[in-house]
Amino acid sequence: MTVDKNNLSPYLNKSSRDVFGKVLVDLAETDERIIAITAEVSNSVRLDGFKKRWPHRFFDFGIAEQNMMAAAAGFARSGKIPYVSLYAIFATLRAAEQVRTDVAYGNLPVRICPSHSGISLGEGGPSHHTIEDISFYRSLPNMTVIVPADGIETAMALRATAGLAGPVYLRLSRAPEPVVYTEEFNFTIGEARTVRKGNDVTLIAYGASVGNALKTAEILMTNSIDCRVIDMATIKPIDKQAIISAASETDAILSIEEHSIIGGLGSAVAEVLAEAGINIKFKRLGIPDEFTLAGPYPELQKYYHLDGSGIAKRVQSFLKE
């Protein structure tokens, strides 16, 4: 997207976790029900600013993620709006039962906003990478699942979730995502955004993969392949019409995500296409059905072909099949 140098957001070129910490403080200024909860990683998830500004509204449970999530449900039942942030792997696996039974079952306004998702904690390896979270959270009744593409969309999405009655999973990244948006906008939950028009093939992505898909589109344009790029920031409820329209207006669809190809965005898109009875070339790009490797984040993106050039090669190969 073209950068308007006269109208740049303060969230431009910021990682989603950095923006989360700043915007949460702003939201708390106008809503005293908002509290922040973490599990001994306040600095890593950017809650130190909230802690300094609102010490009586900040709670650190230490390395006790299950107790933390159960307490968040208790706070919500008491009229508070808890924003819970920790590493995504622990929000997904260690506290899974409490998220399901205490938070989702009660349809409580708990906002689970974990950082270090996908493979963004590169050197942490498979014990700290999170490639199962979208699959888990989108399967929970009452849960809204959102993955913003960059810092600006994080701010817009966070504000949009403020008034929701039920629980939210807002997935954040440790590393700065490629810039997709240069201006603030009204984020609508459940509505995809077409960030690049194209007629040949559609790339549907979320998170950092949206910016990488835009890089892919520029690469493929040199080979006369015109890519549409859709930012599917809301995984649940998913924008079915955007998928169906892409299927009728382009020749192929590829989903792209830093997540297992099983159960994530690719599975959600496939479900929409299958139930609509649409026959179209379709492929899921993501982490294969295996445990991840450890290494610097950019190198891992390259290894799994999730950087711009890697995606481009996979798109070209798929279109030739």
Q: What are the tens digits of pLDDT across the range 201-257?
A: 999 999 999 999 999 999 999 999 999 999 999 999 999 999 999 999 999 999 999
Active-site annotation holder among 29, 65, 132, 271: 65
Q: Which domains does the chain have, with CATH numbers?
A: 16-170 (3.40.50.970), 193-320 (3.40.50.920)
- Both tokens assigned to 199: 């007629």
User: What is the structure's pLDDT at 163?
Assistant: 86
Annotation marks residue 65 as catalytic: yes
| Mean pLDDT to the nearest integer, 46-73 | 96
* Sheet containing strand 144-146, strands side by side: 58-60, 34-38, 81-84, 111-112, 168-170, 144-146, 234-236
Q: Which helix (H) or strand (E) holds 286?
A: strand 281-287
* Sheet containing strand 193-196, strands side by side: 193-196, 227-231, 201-205, 252-260, 281-287
- Residues in a beta bridge with 230: 194, 204
Task: Label the pairing between strands 81-84 and 111-112.
Answer: parallel
156 Ramachandran zone, left/alpha/beta (phi>0; psi -120 to 50)? alpha
Decide if pLDDT at 38 tops 50. yes
Q: Which of 15, 193, 211, 186 is nearest to 113 (CA)?
A: 15
User: What is the structure's pLDDT at 4?
Assistant: 45
φ, ψ for residue 258, nearest 5 deg: -90, 75
**Distance from C-alpha of 286 to C-alpha of 289, rounded to nearest angstrom:** 9
Q: Give the model confidence (pLDDT) of 155-166 as tens digits.
A: 999 999 988 999
Decide if pLDDT at 321 tops 90. no
Decide if pLDDT at 134 tops 80. yes
285 Ramachandran zone, left/alpha/beta (phi>0; psi -120 to 50)? beta
CB 28 within 8 A of CB 34: yes
Name the band, by pLDDT with cuts 50, 70 and 90, for residue 262: very high
* Mean per-residue pLDDT of the chain: 95
- Both tokens assigned to 66: 């299950």
- Both tokens assigned to 162: 């403020």
| Mean pLDDT to the nearest integer, 2-8 | 47
Q: How many CB atoms lie within 10 A of CB 123?
A: 10
263 Ramachandran zone, left/alpha/beta (phi>0; psi -120 to 50)? left
User: What is the structure's pLDDT at 88?
Assistant: 95
Name the band, by pLDDT with cuts 50, 70 and 90, for residue 2: very low
Q: Give the model confidence (pLDDT) of 282-319 as tens digits.
A: 999 999 999 999 999 999 999 999 999 999 999 999 99
